[in-house]
Amino acid sequence: MQLEKKLDNSYKKNKWCESKMTAEIIYGKEIAGRIKKSVVEDVKIFSDTTGISPKICTIMVGDDKPSKMYMNLRKKACDLVGIDTEQINISSKITEKEFLDIIKEKNQKKTIQGILIQLPLPDHISKTKVFETLNPCKDVEGLTPYNMGKTLMGDEYLVPCTPLAVIKILEDIHYNVKGKHVVIINHSTIVGKPLT
């Protein structure tokens, strides 16, 4: 009872708790449908303008089940909007040099517009070297040092996928975060850092 009273009093004294919070249900499938329609149109415009069918190459090292599942979901999403995919699944016994050579080869392919390195990588392969090797123009997630630097400097040249999805959802529901206090509980290079 004492603890309950103490917590109640500390809650009342906290200026952050004085404002009323309201919840809003966000219907993700509806938003995804609108985004999908927009991407289909963009893919068609790209193909009609360039004569090239856009293609993303995903490279995965090892046998991580969640990563495989994510790769398959990504392929399905790409298929739905008309983006070709190439999935490369490599044994975790590959050397770092061999892996970097595969990335260099895919960097040179004119038929590939985007490359995605599926994380996590085995310990013997340096993430830093991998993303230093990846061509920034083909970096789908914005993880090369060049693209991360641009993002951290506030340049929206290439916003990584997951943070961009968060921004698109907020825009779709007409929610302006300007001047609001926002808590981001994540510090990853893919989500947390770009969102901040």
Listed by start position, the domains of the chain span 31-195
Q: pLDDT for 107-156, tens place per residue?
A: 999 999 999 999 999 999 999 999 999 999 999 998 999 998 888 888 87
Alpha-carbon torsion angle 177, 162, 140, 160, nearest 10: 30
Tell me the C-alpha distance between 34 and 172, whole Å: 9
The confidence band for 180, taking pLDDT boundaries of 50, 70 and 90, is confident
Task: State the pLDDT at residue 90.
Answer: 96
DSSP category for residue 139: B
Q: Which two tokens stand for residue 81?
A: 């909007």
- Extended strands (E) in 37-178: 55-61, 84-90, 114-118
Tell me the C-alpha distance between 163 and 32, whole Å: 15
Task: State the pLDDT at residue 9.
Answer: 55
- Do you find a cis peptide bond into 160, omega within 30 degrees of 0? no
Task: State the pLDDT at residue 115.
Answer: 98
Task: State the pLDDT at residue 36.
Answer: 93
Q: What is the mean pLDDT of the chain?
A: 87
To the nearest whole percent, how much of the chain has pLDDT over 70? 84
Phi-psi region of 54 (alpha: psi -120 to 50; beta: other; left: phi over 0): beta
| Average pLDDT rounded to a whole number, residues 77-88 | 96
Tell me the C-alpha distance between 30 and 173, whole Å: 11
Nearest in space to 102 (alpha carbons), one of 120, 83, 87? 87
Task: State the pLDDT at residue 17.
Answer: 54
Q: pLDDT for 34-43, tens place per residue?
A: 999 999 999 9
Instruction: Describe the strand order of the beta sheet including 84-90 as a list of residue ranges.
Output: 84-90, 55-61, 114-118
* Cβ(86)–Cβ(58) below 8 Å: yes
Task: State the pLDDT at residue 18.
Answer: 57
Mention the CATH class of domain 31-195.
alpha beta
> End-to-end alpha-carbon separation of the chain, Å?
40
| Average pLDDT rounded to a whole number, residues 65-81 | 94
